[in-house]
Amino acid sequence: MKKRFTLKTLLDFAAAHRLHGYDGDCAKLHGHNWKVEVMVTGEQLDDVGMVIDFKEIKRHAKAVVAELDHTYLNDHPAFQNQNPTAENIAAYLFERLAERIDTPQRQVSAITVWENDRNCVTFSVE
C-alpha cells in the first residue's frame, strides 16, 4: 500500500467582482470575504519528518493571494478574458501555487475557494 500525506492550510482575502453575462445579482458589483484552502500532497518525508513545512506553504500562498486581496478582480490580468468566478479563481490560484510549491516530491493537489460559508469550489488535476 502506497502512503500519501495531504497537508491543508487556510487563508483568506477580501475582493470585489462582477460576473459579465450572468443573469442575476452577481452581475452587479459585489464583494466577498473569500476563504482559500491549499492542499499539498507528498509521499516522502524529509529528514525532519515533513512533506513541506506549513510555514512554507503559507508563505507562498500569502504571496499569491496578496495579488488579489482588496482588489477588483475583474481588473486582474488573469480575468481579462474570463469571469472571476470561484471556479476560475481556484484554477488561477492552483496554477500560481503549483509554480511555486511543486517538486518531484510534493505537489499542490487541490485548491478550494469559498465565496461564503455555504458555497465553495475545489479545483484539482488528475
Which residues contribute to the annotated binding site for Zn(2+)? 17, 30, 32
Radius of gyration (C-alpha) of the chain in whole angstroms: 16
d(CA 100, CA 113): 19
Annotated binding site: 17, 30, 32
- Of 26, 56, 76, 120, the active-site residue reads 26
Asked about 60 being catalytic, the answer comes back as: no
Contact predicate 40/106, CB 8 Å:
yes
Asked about 115 being catalytic, the answer comes back as: yes
- Of 67, 115, 120, 126, the active-site residue reads 115
Strand pairing report for 71-72 and 5-17 = parallel
Asked about 70 being catalytic, the answer comes back as: yes
- Of 20, 43, 70, 99, the active-site residue reads 70
Which residues belong to the active site? 26, 70, 115
